[in-house]
Amino acid sequence: MRHEAKAILKNTSVNVHPDEFAILSLDLDHWAKLLEDQSLGPNGKAPFMIFSDPYEVTLLLNRPDFERVRHAIDDSRVEMSFRLLTFTTELDFAVVGFLAEVSRILAEANISICVLSSFSRDHLLVRQDDLARALNALGPHVEELC
């Protein structure tokens, strides 16, 4: 199956979103505060993510959306300066090892990642400072870098 993942990776493009992103960890009280004020929601012009688990609510916001909510999140944990990379190939749920292959490539280049998946595509967050090295590492393994 690893060979299938390599072949799929070789035939995909990687798009880099032009914005910088922040990832936030909110407790449930801060999340409730954000929900109360509709002006604090993402503007919908850039990708965003909301993920809730029993421990926290995680938000991924581009810098303009983050700046709009900054005053409402108090001492929530925030990590800034990420870039969003999207693998453009739609992946079937039967594909095994795609993210493992991507992770291996970037781990060998000593690049830390945060993995996000939507229904059809996989995405990565890499630090702005690591973006060029990440693209150099991925370049030989993908069809195109955009």
Least confident interval from 37-41, 104-108, 115-119, 133-137: 37-41
Q: Which fold has domain 2-18+82-145?
A: VC0802-like (3.30.2130)
Q: So where are the chain's domains?
A: 2-18+82-145, 21-80
In angstroms, the CA 43 to CA 18 distance is: 16
pTM for the structure as a whole: 0.91
Give the residue-averaged pLDDT of 9-17: 97
In angstroms, the CA 95 to CA 122 distance is: 12
Contact 21, 58 (CB under 8 A): no
Q: How confident is the model at residue 32 (pLDDT cuts 50, 70, 90)?
A: confident
Q: Supply the CATH classification number for the domain 21-80.
A: 3.30.70.260
Rg (CA), the chain: 16
- Which residues does residue 61 pair with via DSSP β-bridges, in sequence order? 22
- Pick 146 or 141 by higher pLDDT: 141
Tens of pLDDT, residues 113-145: 999 999 999 999 999 999 999 999 999 999 999
In angstroms, the CA 65 to CA 43 distance is: 7
Tokens 């995909």, residue?
12
